[in-house]
Amino acid sequence: MKLLVVEKHDGEGIFPLFPKGSAVTDVKVCDESSHWLACVIQGRETYIPDIYVADGIVTQDYNSTELVVEKEHIVTLVHIVFEWVYVKDESGREGWLPASKVTSLL
């Protein structure tokens, strides 16, 4: 599904792929949502959906990079997790965007 970016988004940096089995430490529930966790993975402060963590371990390969995009950019939906979408742009870059910053193109 193609999505249109309706508001510019600046990410918080590029993160590495955290492989399944990575330890998740210093866990705190985010104020904005009870389904996202602020934590440390491989020495990096980041965020992760609570459904990707079990017993302090990442349950699947995970990258927390937020895609930096301009308004009216077109991206392809990869998957939705709570109020965020994981997308791919036309140049092949992948990352997260708040669902509120995109709309579907029919």
The distance of Cα 67 from the centroid of its chain, to the nearest Å, equals 8
pLDDT given for residue 33 in this prediction: 59
Q: What is the pTM of this model?
A: 0.90
> Could you state, in order of their start, the residue ranges of all structural domains in the chain?
2-12+65-104, 24-58
**24-52 pLDDT, tens digit each:** 999 999 876 569 999 999 999 999 999 99
The answer as to CATH 2.30.30.40 being correct for domain 2-12+65-104 is yes
**50-78 pLDDT, tens digit each:** 999 999 999 999 999 999 999 999 999 99
CB 56 within 8 A of CB 24: yes
Residue % of the chain over a pLDDT of 70 = 97
